Amino acid sequence: MPEPASKPAPSTLRIAIAGVSGYAGGELARLLLRHPRLQSATPLLLGRMGEPEAVPTALTHLHPQLSGIGPANELRVLPFTWQQLQRQSIDIIFLATPHEQSRAWAPQAIAHGMRVIDLSGAWRLQQEHNRAVYKLEDTDPVLAAELQREAVYGSPELHAPAIRNARLVANPGCYATSILLALAPLVRSGLLDLDHGIVCDSKSGASGAGKALVPNNLFMHAADNLSAYAVFGHRHTGELLEQLGLSSEQFQFTPHLLPIPRGILSTIYVRLRQPSRPEEIQAVLERFYAAAPLVRLRPSPQLPQIQHVARTNFCDLGFHLGPDGRKMVVVSCLDNLLKGAASQAVENMNLMAGWKQSEGLQ
Amino acid sequence: MPEPASKPAPSTLRIAIAGVSGYAGGELARLLLRHPRLQSATPLLLGRMGEPEAVPTALTHLHPQLSGIGPANELRVLPFTWQQLQRQSIDIIFLATPHEQSRAWAPQAIAHGMRVIDLSGAWRLQQEHNRAVYKLEDTDPVLAAELQREAVYGSPELHAPAIRNARLVANPGCYATSILLALAPLVRSGLLDLDHGIVCDSKSGASGAGKALVPNNLFMHAADNLSAYAVFGHRHTGELLEQLGLSSEQFQFTPHLLPIPRGILSTIYVRLRQPSRPEEIQAVLERFYAAAPLVRLRPSPQLPQIQHVARTNFCDLGFHLGPDGRKMVVVSCLDNLLKGAASQAVENMNLMAGWKQSEGLQ
Amino acid sequence: MPEPASKPAPSTLRIAIAGVSGYAGGELARLLLRHPRLQSATPLLLGRMGEPEAVPTALTHLHPQLSGIGPANELRVLPFTWQQLQRQSIDIIFLATPHEQSRAWAPQAIAHGMRVIDLSGAWRLQQEHNRAVYKLEDTDPVLAAELQREAVYGSPELHAPAIRNARLVANPGCYATSILLALAPLVRSGLLDLDHGIVCDSKSGASGAGKALVPNNLFMHAADNLSAYAVFGHRHTGELLEQLGLSSEQFQFTPHLLPIPRGILSTIYVRLRQPSRPEEIQAVLERFYAAAPLVRLRPSPQLPQIQHVARTNFCDLGFHLGPDGRKMVVVSCLDNLLKGAASQAVENMNLMAGWKQSEGLQ
Amino acid sequence: MPEPASKPAPSTLRIAIAGVSGYAGGELARLLLRHPRLQSATPLLLGRMGEPEAVPTALTHLHPQLSGIGPANELRVLPFTWQQLQRQSIDIIFLATPHEQSRAWAPQAIAHGMRVIDLSGAWRLQQEHNRAVYKLEDTDPVLAAELQREAVYGSPELHAPAIRNARLVANPGCYATSILLALAPLVRSGLLDLDHGIVCDSKSGASGAGKALVPNNLFMHAADNLSAYAVFGHRHTGELLEQLGLSSEQFQFTPHLLPIPRGILSTIYVRLRQPSRPEEIQAVLERFYAAAPLVRLRPSPQLPQIQHVARTNFCDLGFHLGPDGRKMVVVSCLDNLLKGAASQAVENMNLMAGWKQSEGLQ
């Protein structure tokens, strides 16, 4: 299907980030500060909303590693209001905020004329029973339901056309991205014996848990350690079921906390309907990702590892077929803060602006 | 079956270690130096065999962390011959040597009147096609085949009676121990739907790969990283199939290299024949390990983590049952150099001597 | 000076720990659980004092790594009162509590007939201006001043005779121990040009900062990082000045946070009055530590490293002399939770009981 | 002094790297692949020289993390000859080679019309006794001596004018850069009491030691560890003495190996001639680095930390003045592979080309 003729892409956009103080917010700021289409644009607004009396803080105070990068030294993180954003003609606002806030703010931002890219889990799920894990409360349930139906799941490899025209993009979860990019081509190709079930064993660096001052985020908890958590109950399960069209019987996912700052590796166990050869699988993946700028396929039997993707914008995929030609292990790696969050959000922005998908990311 | 009446246990034994310079050898030395039954025994012979011209080295030069522990400062690592060991009336020799050496030396040690605990993979496998991965060559194939049949797989939780009387104990592999202790009670109880298949996703610290000067052992390879390796082809698979009585169709195992020095965590995915409740599973495990001194069961839904077992002699087990009561995730943790190697070897020695299984280990 | 004839040492003691939930408290519990003189003693009381309504907690819930070690599984951490401790005839109480609590509780414990080993900084400093950094407040200043004068600085290598008879032992700080053991023999021997000044550059693992939920204790702060802190202002400076008899002009100390769980390495820069040879320095150190069970001297030019002392009870010392024979670098390593805290506290207990100094520590 | 009028800067250059397989070589390739002035330039030659029969290797095979970055996927690492480089009209060759090779190759490259940026220690030292530690052997000693006199020490903050016109730039050592940038402004300002002596206590991540398969580079050696090495004898001492104009009596330097992949932190102890206030020191530093694009000054009392410079091109500086106003601690941080090697080499290339010093680095 050819893309519809559309109005020409703007040369730049006016951007705001809410929630820039977290790890993903900091990476997002870094990417946008270096983005060639945004370098001359003013303002890049960085904000804490709803804290009207908060004192402006230097961006480099919150993220010292950004000092000296583009205009970072001049940027202030400000409390701001919707009116101010509207007055500044903000085109797109990134919400790098907790899901409760994202659920409340997305409708308001849209009502004030902005498009929204939300990095939380607030808008990813169409099915109410999946959404239940987030315990979301809507002040205007009718409007929220409508906006939910309109929201586009921001996986550029799967939904680029819809993202281009979206008002509200729900940026995928970090674990979900690593698993979805591995499974989508295989599920869609019909190669998998879905009834046998799929097992995803994922391992993530500590930044995935955010900056909260809780015992599990302490150095003394994570260092020299590995632990499984949220077995049979991680929130990213729902978005994977919806995106892959699987039932909860067919899919299981166990996350683990790795003693490293960044990176996810997912080891995914599937069974093929028919015995296959590695070249057939490789061909399916290559076809699917032929135009995907941020997915790198390793030629089997090479496998990706976290070291090769950490602090890059890429998701790397590789696989091994068992001697029976039916058991298969797929390994997927990405940086949870980048392709698992900020880089993917920038891809979505690029698509929404009509720019090249990987603009500012290679 | 009651244990046969036997001669009284000796108060001490005379012990030698071949291959003390490696990580497992060092831990073995540490445990034996502290063992209450061995403290007055002389000698603890530590050796490099087959390097006749090698200069004796201080044990604390090879393992500085042992300085000041018991008589460690006085011990020398010596080149030694079978005749010397025989003259010293060595009762048991530990072979912490590469599998080729262990395969050659165990028959010689036995011929010189010693009992052997071998920490390599040389003697663990009864089936020739499983053993093939080690590419073993026997100078006397008939004798080797005989000794192979006599060799006892040194899992004290599974084979204590045979170990007590064994001349040759094949100490289990580190990954194999972590998986076997999780699965043996479940397989034996008949609870598992074996035809569905079992998936073991294991992660090990870097000491598991030994001291070899190869790129994968470099700090810069392992740090801030995670990588899968030997997918569908790890050597420990064979011993697990034999010990669990599974076919290769029913079982798959993927090891990963963790950026930590020590510890293994195995996440094991099984399916139960019938929907069950956690208490039933817990009861099966408790019964099986009622008398096992070094297996600690976590009450579900608690799960073990590497931090709680690293530098201990224990294997910790925990599990989660899925909402369908049939999908189950078992998590097993141990220190690969201790319960996965040296501590288990000491348990075997204790059994062979007629001492308490956990003597010197608690 | 011969030790005075004294009454025979008791075969066992009754012990309590207040503040067992921290890292040092946990290590202390581990050591006492394994201590041969205490194994038959009941009770080992573990407590949170002053939280009357707190529910008793299993020790192994707070410290899962202690499961299965001696009687650990049966032990409960209880809220307790001075009356209960007195009724239980507790001989010695360890205070592994914040310094404010230790300052308040030590007089009360002594009033109830116990001897005290305090692991905090509350009682280490004789000079008021040094003590000021702790902002201590005494309800009975006269009694506190009296007790302060009586308190013995618990460095067994320096003050063994006084410790034996002490009612209140102030266990040294972790950094202070690593520096003091390196410098005391050199300062006392008169070899150093003190007016040139001494520079101590120390690096500590993250457990030194305790379990507080503060940003600097997060994995994401400490991992892949190194940072200096408290330059010219660390609290351990005062106890070093007092113990070494130095002025603040003569001494400076910079601590750093290492991305590892445990261990301190101090690199100490001194200048000798006269050009010397390494053997002379080595001889001074050997003489000083001839009878010290937990200090290990490396023969120059070998240097200690953290790996060799972590999780051991030892302090390791080594040094290099510059080509001029006057510049000297001393390197001192220990485990901050053991010789820098819990092991040293057990040494003090052993001395107070009249037992061998290293009982239960080798 | 105004810069002399010179011919206009070229719009691009033709570049080669010898020794691209190491860590610094890989970072250099990454920077050059992204460099805006080089993106259209062909070729970027990557090479192993002197291995004529070696098979060309994909750059992304040696450095998988470079996959998908600019034209990296098409680049091959080739054996090459001087004639080929000359035929390709290479303007500048980077030597990321061992110092023996750099010593032999620089004269040859220059004889074939190229300018050279050498990342090894081969050409940094003017004084023969300092150079002795490298045990260099010259086939043409007269030519080598001449070239040595002509060689420019490639610190762009100190020697930019000479670098612009240099044929041979000796890129500084990683430790040396971290210390030099901290001390140069202070020494040149005459503020320091040099006779008191300067103490530099530096700590470096493991990549500083390169990829050699030696025991000290193993994960099991570096992890959970810290160790001092080359006390009173590190090779970078000589270049610091020469650049700072100090005698070996006045300066001492102790490097340590940190358990992290990248980053150096140097803690530097100096004494001021006169009591000063922090603002005076800050002003001296600010003046000195007013035009330096890659030096970031922290406002006292903030101090730099490795986390804020790792994987950036910056060197961060901060300091604390003691209460006497004379003792001062300066902390300097950089990424040893970037500002300590590859980024500084790119700065030198930019200067040699007449481009902006930080082109492609911000």
How does strand D295-297 pair with strand D251-257? unpaired
Q: In what order do the strands lie in the sheet with A198-204?
A: A227-228, A251-257, A198-204, A264-271, A327-334, A315-321, A295-297
Q: How far apart are CA C342 and CA C337, in angstroms?
A: 6
Residues B65 and B178 in one domain: no
Residues in chain C within 8 Å Cβ distance of D254:
267, 329
> Are the beta carbons of D37 and D11 closer than 8 angstroms?
yes
Residue C121 and residue C178 share a domain: no
Q: Do C316 and C305 share a domain, yes or no?
A: yes
Among A3, A68, A4, which Cα is nearest to A30's? A68
Catalytic residue among C174, C200, C315, C333: C174
Q: Is residue B294 part of a domain?
A: yes
User: How many alpha carbons lie under 13 Å from residue C333 in its C-beta half-sphere?
Assistant: 26
| Distance, CA of B184 to CA of B178 (rounded, Å) | 11
Q: Please state which of the ranges A78-92, A240-254, C92-106, D320-334 shows the lowest mean pLDDT.
A: A78-92
Cα of C254 vs its chain's centroid, Å: 19
Please judge whether D223 and B214 are an interchain contact, meaning their C-beta atoms are less than 8 angstroms apart.
no
Q: What is the pLDDT of residue C48?
A: 62
Beta-bridge mates of residue D97: none
Q: Judge if D166 and D219 occupy the same domain.
A: no
Give the count of beta carbons closer than 10 Å to the beta carbon of residue D90.
Answer: 23
Chain B (211-240) residues lying within 8 Å, Cβ to Cβ, of chain C: 224
**High-pLDDT (> 70) share of chain A, %:** 95
Q: For A209-230, how does the pLDDT look when each residue is reduced to its tens digit (9 = 90+)?
A: 999 999 999 999 999 999 999 9
- Which of A111-120, C103-112, D57-66 comes out lowest in average pLDDT? D57-66
Q: What is the CATH number of the domain that holds A332?
A: 3.30.360.10
Asked if C174 is an active-site residue, the reply is yes
- Which residues from chain A sit within 8 angstroms of residue D70, using beta carbons? 362
Q: Is residue D1 part of a domain?
A: no
* Bridge partners of residue C271, in order along the sequence: C327
A42 contacts: CB under 8 Å, gap ≥ 6: A14
The number of domains in chain D is 2
Asked if pLDDT for residue C195 goes beyond 50, the answer is yes
Question: Residue A40 has what pLDDT?
Answer: 64
Q: Does residue B359 form part of some domain? A: no
Which among D231, D263, D322 has CB closest to C329? D231
**What 3-state class would DSSP assign to A249?**
helix
- C198-204 and C264-271 strand pairing: antiparallel
Helix (H) or strand (E) holding C58: strand C57-58
Give the CA distances from residue C79 to residues B222, C24, C50, C57, C82, in Å, rounded to whole numbers and listed in that order.
45, 19, 7, 9, 11
- Top-confidence residue, B228 or B60: B228
Which residue blocks in D58-191 are alpha helix, DSSP H? 59-62, 82-87, 99-111, 128-131, 141-150, 156-164, 174-188
Residues D319 and D181 in one domain: yes
DSSP secondary structure letters along D198-255: EEEEEEE-GGGG-S---GGGBHHHHTT--EE-STTT-THHHHHHHHHT--GGGEEEEE
Cα–Cα distance, C53 to C244 (Å, whole number): 44
Detail the DSSP E strand segments found in chain A: 15-18, 44-49, 57-58, 76-80, 92-95, 115-118, 152-153, 168-170, 198-204, 227-228, 251-257, 264-271, 295-297, 315-321, 327-334
User: What average pLDDT does this structure show over A281-309?
Assistant: 95
Residue A1 has pLDDT above 60, yes or no: no
Which residue does chain B place closest to A203, by CA atoms?
B226
**Interface contact C327-D267, CB threshold 8 A:** no
Q: Residue A41: is its pLDDT beyond 70?
A: no
What interhelical angle do D156-164 and D343-353 show, nearest 10?
40
H or E stretch including D344? helix D343-353
Q: What's the rounded Cα separation, in Å, for the pair A33 and B330?
A: 46
* B182 in the same domain as B126: no
Tokens of A169: 């993009």
**Mean pLDDT (whole number) for A297-303:** 90
Touching A: D residues 169-208, CB under 8 Å: none
Print the domain residue range for C79.
15-172+341-353
Any domain includes C181: yes
Task: Decide if A8 is inside a domain.
Answer: no
| Residue D215: other Cβ atoms inside 10 A | 10
Cβ atoms of residues B17 and B96 within 8 Å: yes
Do A218 and C223 count as a contact with CB atoms less than 8 A apart? no
What is the arithmetic mean of pLDDT over A141-151? 97
CA distances from A349 to A46, A158, A316, A358 (A): 16, 15, 22, 10
Residues shown for chain B = 362
CB contact under 8 A, C259 and A219: yes
pLDDT, tens digit (0-9, with 9 covering 90-100), for A181-209: 999 999 999 999 999 999 999 999 999 99
By mean pLDDT, which of A30-34, B79-83, D93-97, D283-287 is the weakest?
Answer: B79-83
For C174, residues 6+ apart whose C-beta sits below 8 A from its C-beta are C204, C208, C236, C264, C334, C336, C337, C340, C341
Could you say which of D201, D225, D331 has the minimum Cβ distance to residue C305?
A: D225
Question: Cβ of A65 and D296 within 8 Å?
Answer: no
Q: Which whole number is the average pLDDT over D157-178?
A: 98
- Is D358 a member of any domain? no
Check C267 against D259: CB less than 8 A apart. no
Q: Beta partners for C202? A: C255, C266
Q: Is the pLDDT of residue A42 over 70?
A: no
Please report whether residue A6 resides in a domain.
no
Q: Is D261 in Cβ contact with C226 (below 8 Å)?
A: no
Reported as type and span, the H/E element at residue D334 is strand D327-334
* Residue scoring higher pLDDT (B251 or A65): B251
B297: enclosing H helix or E strand: strand B295-297
Least confidently predicted of B242-246, C71-75, C350-354, D140-144: C71-75
- Tens digit of pLDDT for each residue in B208-226? 999 999 999 999 999 999 9
Q: Does D259 touch chain B (CB under 8 A)?
A: yes
What CATH number does residue A27 fall under? 3.40.50.720
Residues 6+ apart with CB under 8 A from B128: none
- A162 contacts: CB under 8 Å, gap ≥ 6: A152
Q: How far is D222 from chain A (nearest CA, A)?
A: 13
Q: For residue D128, count CB atoms less than 10 angstroms from its CB and return exposed for 0-12, middle for 13-18, buried for 19 or more.
A: exposed
Q: Determine the pLDDT at residue A300.
A: 81
HEC profile of A112-138: CCCEEEECCCCCCCCCHHHHHHHCCCC
* Residue D349 and residue D216 share a domain: no
CA distance D179 to D202: 8
Chain-chain contact of A223 with C221 (C-beta, under 8 angstroms): no
Which residues partner with C115 through β-bridges?
C92
Distance CA B163, CA B178 (A): 19
**Which structure tokens are listed for C127?**
């000079």
* The pLDDT of residue B56: 81
Q: Please give the mean pLDDT across all residues of chain C.
A: 93
From the candidates B174, B200, B315, B333, which is the catalytic residue? B174
Neighbouring-strand partners of residue C270? C328
* pLDDT above 70 for C342: yes
Q: Same domain, yes or no, for B117 and B187? A: no
pLDDT at C53 > cutoff 60: no
> What angle is formed at CA B27 by the lines to CA C310 and CA B255, rounded to 5 degrees?
95
Q: Does C67 touch chain B (CB under 8 A)?
A: yes
**Residue B73: pLDDT band with limits 50, 70, 90:** confident
Whether D345 and D331 map to the same domain: the answer is no
- Give me the active site residues of D, please: 174
- Evaluate whether B316 touches B308 at the Cβ level (below 8 Å): yes
So what's the pLDDT on residue C1? 42
Question: Could you tell me the end-to-end alpha-carbon distance of chain A, in angstroms, rounded to an integer?
Answer: 27
Interface mutation target, options D133, D199, D201, chain C, most CBs of C under 10 Å:
D201
**Smallest CA–CA distance from D223 into chain B, residue:** B261
Hey, are the CB atoms on C308 and B70 less than 8 Å from each other? no
* CA distance linking residue C44 with residue A85, whole number of Å: 63
- Name the nearest CA neighbour of A60 among A72, A48, A51: A72
pLDDT in tens, B305-332: 999 999 999 999 999 999 999 999 999 9
Which residue blocks in A151-290 are alpha helix, DSSP H?
Answer: 156-164, 174-188, 219-222, 236-244, 278-288
Does the residue B61 lie in any domain? yes
Of D342, D288, D291, D297, nearest in space to D315 by CA: D297
Tell me which residues of chain C, numbers 267 to 326, contact chain B at a CB-CB cutoff of 8 Å. Answer: 293-294, 296, 307-309, 311-312, 314, 316
Which residue does chain C place closest to B33, by CA atoms? Answer: C362
Are A308 and D64 an interchain contact pair (Cβ–Cβ within 8 Å)? yes
Do C80 and C227 lie in a common domain? no
Residue B69 pLDDT grade (very low, low, confident, very high; cuts 50, 70, 90): confident
Q: What is the mean pLDDT of residues A238-261?
A: 97
pLDDT of residue D57: 86
Q: How far apart are CA C236 and CA C121, in angstroms?
A: 8
Residue C2 has pLDDT above 70, yes or no: no
Contacts of B311 in chain D (CB under 8 A): none
**Tens-digit pLDDT profile for residues B267-290:** 999 999 999 999 999 999 999 999
CB-CB contact of A332 with A203 (8 Å): no
pLDDT at A79: 82
Which residues on chain A are in Cβ contact (under 8 Å) with C220? 23, 206-207, 211, 217, 261
Same domain, B70 and B178: no
Both B196 and B326 in a single domain?
yes
pLDDT for position D2: 46
Closest residue of C to A210, CA-based?
Answer: C220
Q: Which residues of chain C are within 8 Å of residue B206 when distances are taken between CB atoms? A: none
A166-178 pLDDT, tens digit per residue, is 999 999 999 999 9
Q: What is the mean pLDDT of residues C308-326?
A: 97
Structure tokens at A188: 């869609």
